[in-house]
Every structure is written in structure tokens, then in C-alpha cells.
Structure 1
Amino acid sequence: MATSSSTVAPIEDTSLTGFYRDMTVPEKRTFWACATGWALDGMDFMIYPLVIGTIIMLWQVDAGTAGLAGTVTLLASALGGWGAGYLADRIGRVRTLQLTIIWFSFFSLLCAFAQNFEQLLIFRALLGLGFGGEWAAGAVLMGETIRAQYRGRAVGSVQSGWAVGWGLAVLAQAALFSLLPAEQAWRWMFAIGALPALLVLYLRAYVKEPEVSVEARAKLAATGDRPSILEIFQGPILKTTILASLVTTGCQGGYYAITFWVPRFLTTERKLSIVSSTGYLSAVIIGSFVGYLVGAWFADKYGRRSLFLSFSLGAMVVVLAYTQLPLSNELLWVLGFPLGFFASGYFSGMGAFLTELYPTRLRGSGQGFCYNFGRGVGALFPFLVGYLSQVTSLANAICLFALVAYVLFFLAAYALPETRGKVLHADA
């Protein structure tokens, strides 16, 4: 393994922002490039859940069919993430990241020109390939660039960019749906999703390949040893791959069951307009942003595994209260903060955790597969929630699938070892 327990870096400054003060210029450039990428990635993905009500109305599709587009996006992202992870092991992390960003930006733009639901479904599926690949390449890039003692906070803080992107999508929705008719506003939402392509210019100019990756690929080229894409399913690595895939399935299944359908829940069962629901979504998003930052600090202070166990329990409690208690709209708004906090904060430890589980020669393939396997199975949850909501309330459907996911998350995380502070090596 790349990270044996005998090579554990000391935790120096344990404050939330201490890691940034001590980072080198290359580390900071990589940090901001990946943070921006995650923000734009989050914005791209959350655009569809925000316009799903308009799509249902304009094209007369049922909730289950509309949810299928979200499911297809995530299923495609699972393939894209595994493929991009393997590609990152062969051609490098930075080059792969550039390719994936251009890919999903292009297909987000095409979504704006879809003439029917079938076309939108195809474009979202193709977008998903790049969407999944961007996370796989970016997470490995961050994990290998940042030193072990700061890896949890740095990667976790970058993860908070997702909440920023979600917030940008909500603000764009509020502005565009206020200024334009709904049949035009949703198209402009997707057009905005093409903005991440501009990030490639920064990546080409300032972000360099991690030294550990360059060294590892040089050694593999010298020996002629090319790791197989199936090697993560062999020997002692197989157990790690299975458990890590179950962890990511639980954490993402719960997240998507909640965040994909909460906008629709607010406008249907809580009878809020699209514009008035913005404040309620803002509470969830702010909670999500704070959750990412606290989770990043928690992952370095107490460990990745402890983060997963405590936050999954918190998410179970809050989702039960949010969907099952007869709360006033005012209390529901207040509860949005802890919902976002617990349903998002555990992601802060995920990138570092998966990076530390695999040897360098297999890191892209292993990390790309596990995270995106979870994303692919979690992709079923938007569809299943939408389907079940046709025979029960949307609140009940969200609650059921979120709880199933978080129980799986808790049990799989409990079965895996702690990896906090492990040092990465090129030859292991």
C-alpha cells in the first residue's frame, strides 16, 4: 500500500486555516484551481434539480421520468470517473482534469439547446462522463499535492466549493426566473453551466503534475509495468475496493436522495414558489458550506473514519425531523442548516480517505472507481425517490431512501481502517 501506518506525518497546526498559511505556492495554486473546479462542478450538477419542476411542466413528464435524467447523469459519471481515474494513472492528473472539464462544459451548453426530454437525457448522460471524471482527477491531484498533515483540511476545504457552486446555481435561478419566462430561463441556466471551460486556461498556465505522480509513472515506464484497470479487484486490494465502494454508495445515495428532491419538496408539499423557496435552499446551502469546513477540520483532528460515523448518525436524525415532523415553515427554514451541515460535511474526508487507501500506481483507478461506483449506485436514488413519490408523499420517499443509504454508510465506514496522516510514496 502507498500509505503504511509506519509513515504517519505529524499533525502540526491543527486549526482550520493553519494548513493554508503553511502551504507552498504550487500547493496554493492547486488548491484554488480545484476549489474553483468543484464550485463549478457543483453548479453544473445542481442546475437540473433546480429546473426539474419547469421541465415537468413544459414537457409533461412525470416525476419518475424527470428523476431519470438525474439518475442517468450519475450513472454516466460512474463510468466517466473510473475511466478518468485510469487515464490519470496513464497520462497524468492535470491533463486528465483539463479534458474532463472541457467535456462536461460542452455538454452543459448543449443541454440549453435541447428540443425535447429525450435530447436532454442524452446530453445529461454525456455531461455525466466528464462530471464524474473531473472529481476523480481533481481529488487525486489534490491528495498527492498537499502534504499528509494538511491533506484532510485542504481537500475538505476544496470540497466546500460544491456548496458555493450550489449557491451560485440558486442565485442564478432566482435572477433568471425573475427576469425571464420559465421556458427561456431554464435554458440560460444550462448555458451558464459552460463556464467551467475557462478554468482550463488557469490549469494549463499554473498547475503542475504532483511529483509523486511523475516519479511513479517514470518508474512504471522504465520497467514496462503498466497497471491493469482490473488490478484493484485482485489480492488484498479487493477488500478495500469493496468496502470503500459501499462507503461511497451510502454517503452519496443519502446526499442525492435529499438534495435532488428538496427543491421539489419545497415547491409542492410546502407550497412555496420557486423564488420564495430560495431562502429555504439558502439555509441548506449555508449549512452545507459550514459542514464542509467543519468536516475538513474534523477529518484532520479526529480522523476520517470518526467523521463518517458521527456525521452519518447526525444526518439520519435531521432528515427524519425535516421530512416527518409537522414543522412550521419557519422551523423548517431553521432546520435547513443542520440538514445541509450533516448531509454534506462528511464529503470533506472522502477525497483524502480514498487517496490514502490506494498505492500510487493504482490511486487514480482505485479512487476513481470507488467514488464513482458509489455515485452510480447513488444515481438510482433520485429515480427511486421520484418513483416512490407517486404512491406516497415525496417527504416519505426522501426519508426512506436517505435512511437506508446512511445506515450502509455507517456500517461500511466502521469496517475500514483509519488513514489520517499517512504519507504517500511513489514506489508503493
Structure 2
Amino acid sequence: MNLTERLDSVPWGRFHTVVTVALGIGWLLDAFEVTIVNNVVSVLKVQWHLSNVEASWILSIWFIGLMIGAYGFGYLADRFGRKQLFLITLLVYGVFTFLTAFSWNFQSMMVLRLLTAIGVGAEYSAINASISEFIPARHRGKTGATVMNFWPVGAILAAVVSLYVVNVLPPDIGWRVAFGFGALVAGSTALIRSHIPESPRWLITQGNLVDAERVVSGIEQRHPWLGKTQVKRHPGAPGNFWGQSHELLTRYPARVALGGLLDFSEAAGYYGLFAFLALFILPGIHVTNGFVPLFYIVGNVGALVGGGMAAALLDRAGRKLTVPIFYLLAAGAVLLLAMSTTTHAWTWVLAAFTLANVFATGSWISAYPTFSEIFPTHLRSTGIGLSVAIGRFGAFSAPLVLTYVANAFGMVPALMLLASFWLIGAAAMVPWYFRGVEGKGQALERLVTGEGA
């Protein structure tokens, strides 16, 4: 067997578990940051006398940083390797979220939030490329979904920190400790990631078969700390940033379209759901500030269930069925949420929100493994980054559009619009269902060169 076939035939071992946990924590940190800021923005608004527009920019600047980090660092991961980038991205995140704890005014917070988000956006590309390339084909779908299911864990952790740290300590201290906690988690994770080797598939694209053989042999012999191997990187000949992008758009336009539409749909739907919940639904049913973190904890338990369902189905039912079904169910659950708001009962709203979170989370968790595996190795991280960058436009614009519709026409029409965002992803899977490739159980190389590619 050749190197990639050997990599796909290795039984699951401790090494794969270490990779899954070490890379999954990147998604945990992203969710932690987003949730913590949502919980402390009202404190910052009072402390620094911010207007509503300034407070909203603390949230919106995050998506700009994610776009820059995902696309820009996606190219760098294809150019310089996965390992260097998933260590650098964690360093960028850890340093700047730690410095965020010392923000002294609105302007410093904005700069540091932007830089922190660049590090997290870079994680999207490096992590998903690495997971696709390390995990055996028969486990790739459920492992990719499991990695991303660290997101609701991070959201729950942030809610707990909000309850027992932010809400307990003095207002000027609590939010700073919360950001410092994120930096502590990042530092601990970096120690684990330092032992993960370079992707053998990336080494092969560089013509470095000797080191690729060394890494694959180490995985076969169940050596969990392969990162101690000194992997020499021979300079390959990848295109420059624009060359990589041009090759993606001209040779693989359908794959870029699928990745971009799936990510735009889920980002607009997911972030739109949470923004609308905070801005309109919870105030509309008079949920007190003290109960809000518990509301998110229950909702994210539903997210864990949805992510688990996606992980179980991707390698059984396949990508072509799992992804569109979750997107359609997410749209339907949002319509149920719209109906629940008319009751003005927090119990019904909580139940509907939790159900919506089940399918919303299952949607994007099934989507990422699907579009991460369809790009060739030398373009994979760039392709993921471009897809994520397109998606962040949805995350950025959806709350603004939903706010306008809610103010002009009411909550129910706005939630109907939110449901329609999920239909974009379902529609994008229709042509892929008939003409695209099915990744279930298939080697990555076959998805690019095999029948139907």
C-alpha cells in the first residue's frame, strides 16, 4: 500500500484521540470567546459609557477578524504546513485574548478583539485541514464532527464562568478574569499540540516522502508523541496567495460554491439565531438577566445532542443525506420558535430554542467535514479558509437584517426570514447530491481524482 492508503487503514489509537482533543479545543475557545463577550458587553457598555452602535461593534469586529484569519492563514497553512500554523494560531489567540483582559478603553478593546479573532479564524482552516488529513477515511466524518462539537462545550463553559466569575466578582474585574481564563486554556492546549506531527499528506505534496514515511510508520506503531520527531520540510512549489485562490476558483468552482454557500447559510442562521434571541426574544418574554446564562446552558445541551447526531450520521447515512436534512430541520425548528414567541411563555420558548439549537448545530457540524474533504491537499486549507470567509459575511449581516425586519414588521416575520437562511444550505446540496462526490468511507485522494470528481 502507498502512504495514504496505510494512513487510512490504521486502527483507531491513542494518537487519533490526542489529535481529536487537541484540535477540538480550538472550537471550544471560539465558542468561549463569542459567549463571554455576549455576556459582558452590557458591563462594558456601562463601564465605558458606550453607545449601542459602539457596543455592537465589539461583537461585529469579531467576524471581520475571522474572515482575515481564515482566508489569510488558510493559504499559509498550505504554504508552510499544518503544524506550524495550528501552533501559531493558538499562540496568536492566547496572547491577544490575554492582553484583552487589560483593555483600558473601547479603542484598545476593538484592536485586541480583532487580533484575537484573526487567530481564531486561522484555527478554522488549520484544524479542519489537519483532521481531514490525519483521520482514517472510515472515521473521518464522525471525527470531524466530534472536533466541532467542542463548540457547545465552550459555550457551556463560558456560561458557567459568567455565572460563577463574571456575575460574582466586581464588574471591572470579572470580565478581565474571564478573558484570562481563555488564555490559560490556550496555553495548556499548545503543550499538547506541540507533540502532533506534520500532516503526512502535506509532506507528500512537498515531495518529502522520507518524513511522510516516518510519520505514517510512527502512527502505525502507535507512538502518541510523534511531535518529538524532527520533521524536515523541503520547500515545495505552491502558488502565491492569489495563485492559490485563482486555482481554486477556476479549477474547483463548484466546490468553492458549495463550501461558501453551506458556510454562509449556517453562519447567517446560527449567529442570527443567537443575536435575535438576545436582542428581541428574551426581552420580549421578560427573561431576567440572572436567568440568561442558564437559558444558554440548556440551549447548548441541545447543541451537544445535535452535534452528536451529526457525528453518528455522517459516516453512516453519508454527507449527501445528512447535511441537507439537518439544514431543513433547522429551518423548521426556527419556525416553531416563531410560534413559541406568540405564547409569551419562557418555557415554550426555551424548548423551541433548544430544539432549534439541536438542528442548527447539527447543520454546521455536518457541513464542515463535508466541504473540508473535497479540496485537494495543496489547496485544502485555502479552500476551507475561503469558504469560511464567505460565511462570515452571513454572520456579520444576518443580525443587522433581522433587526431591521423585526423593527419594521415584527418578530415572527424576522424569524421566518431567519428560517429561510437555512434553506440556502439545503438548496446548495441538491446539485451536489446528483453530481458531487460522496465522502463517506472514501480516501481524500479519491474525492479529487476518482469517479464523479
TM-score, normalisation: structure 2: 0.82
Q: CA deviation at 1:289?
A: 0.6
Q: CA deviation at 1:331?
A: 1.9
Stretch of structure 1 that moved more, 374-383 or 407-416: 374-383
Instruction: Give the alignment partner of residue 338 of structure 1, picking from 346, 355, 359.
Output: 355
Q: Which amino acid aligns with 1:308?
A: V
Stretch of structure 1 that moved more, 250-259 or 192-201: 192-201
Instruction: Give the alignment partner of residue 422 of structure 1, picking from 419, 436, 442.
Output: 442
**Distance change >3 Å, CA 140–CA 340, structure 1 → 2:** same
For 2:253 and 2:358, the matched residues in 1 are separated by 32
Number of the residue aligned with 2:191: 201
SS of 2:20's equivalent in the other structure is: helix
Matched, 1:367 2:384: yes
8 Å CA contact 1:385–1:397 kept in 2: the answer is: no
**Distance change >3 Å, CA 412–CA 133, structure 1 → 2:** same
Q: How does 1:134-173 map to 2 (within 5 A)?
A: 134-173=123-162
SS of 2:250's equivalent in the other structure is: coil
Matched, 1:321 2:321: no
**Distance change >3 Å, CA 367–CA 225, structure 1 → 2:** same
Q: How does 1:22-41 map to 2 (within 5 A)?
A: 22-41=11-30
Instruction: Give the alignment partner of residue 181 of structure 1, picking from 146, 154, 170.
Output: 170
1:78-128 deviation line (CA, Å, top 9, x unaligned): 121111111111111121011111112222222222233333222211211
1:17-67 deviation line (CA, Å, top 9, x unaligned): xx9xx5123222211111223222321222112223333444444545433
Stretch of structure 1 that moved more, 185-194 or 147-156: 185-194
Q: Which amino acid aligns with 2:261?
A: L
Stretch of structure 1 that moved more, 278-287 or 60-69: 60-69
The CA RMSD measured in Å over matched residues stands at 2.8
1:248-286 deviation line (CA, Å, top 9, x unaligned): 101111011112443444652222223212232122100
Number of the residue aligned with 1:4: none
For 2:178 and 2:414, the matched residues in 1 are separated by 25
For 1:249 and 1:56, the matched residues in 2 are separated by 29
Q: Which amino acid aligns with 2:445?
A: H
Number of the residue aligned with 1:380: 397
Number of the residue aligned with 1:258: 273
Q: Which amino acid aligns with 1:45?
A: V
Q: CA deviation at 1:134?
A: 0.8
Matched, 1:247 2:262: yes
Matched, 1:91 2:83: no
Stretch of structure 1 that moved more, 309-318 or 222-231: 222-231
8 Å CA contact 1:90–1:217 kept in 2: the answer is: no
For 2:168 and 2:96, the matched residues in 1 are separated by 25
TM-score, normalisation: structure 1: 0.87
Q: CA deviation at 1:140?
A: 0.7
1:276-323 deviation line (CA, Å, top 9, x unaligned): 122321221000011101111111111223222111111112222224
**Distance change >3 Å, CA 114–CA 324, structure 1 → 2:** farther
Instruction: Give the alignment partner of residue 43 of structure 1, picking from 32, 36, 44.
Output: 32
Matched, 1:211 2:200: yes
Q: Which amino acid aligns with 1:365?
A: T
Q: Which amino acid aligns with 2:237?
A: D
**Distance change >3 Å, CA 282–CA 224, structure 1 → 2:** closer
Q: CA deviation at 1:168?
A: 0.3
Number of the residue aligned with 2:219: none
Q: Which has the larger radius of gyration?
A: 2
For 1:362 and 1:320, the matched residues in 2 are separated by 38
**Distance change >3 Å, CA 266–CA 120, structure 1 → 2:** farther
Q: CA deviation at 1:408?
A: 1.5
For 1:209 and 1:84, the matched residues in 2 are separated by 16
8 Å CA contact 2:314–2:440 kept in 1: the answer is: yes
Q: Which has the higher contact order (CA 8 A, sep 6+)?
A: 1
For 1:358 and 1:304, the matched residues in 2 are separated by 15
Q: Which amino acid aligns with 2:349?
A: L
8 Å CA contact 1:311–1:345 kept in 2: the answer is: yes
Q: CA deviation at 1:236?
A: 3.3
Q: CA deviation at 1:401?
A: 4.9
Identity, in percent, stands at 22
8 Å CA contact 1:77–1:376 kept in 2: the answer is: no
Matched, 1:133 2:122: yes
Q: Which amino acid aligns with 1:344?
A: T
1:364-394 deviation line (CA, Å, top 9, x unaligned): 111121123212442222344456555565x
8 Å CA contact 2:24–2:147 kept in 1: the answer is: yes
For 2:18 and 2:407, the matched residues in 1 are separated by 48
Matched, 1:348 2:338: no
For 1:208 and 1:44, the matched residues in 2 are separated by 28
8 Å CA contact 2:73–2:122 kept in 1: the answer is: yes
For 1:80 and 1:392, the matched residues in 2 are separated by 36
Q: Which amino acid aligns with 2:136?
A: R
* Matched pairs, number: 410
Q: Which amino acid aligns with 2:64?
A: L
8 Å CA contact 1:70–1:383 kept in 2: the answer is: no
Q: Which amino acid aligns with 1:180?
A: L
Stretch of structure 1 that moved more, 24-33 or 77-86: 24-33
**Distance change >3 Å, CA 166–CA 234, structure 1 → 2:** closer
For 2:23 and 2:235, the matched residues in 1 are separated by 32
Stretch of structure 1 that moved more, 75-84 or 330-339: 330-339
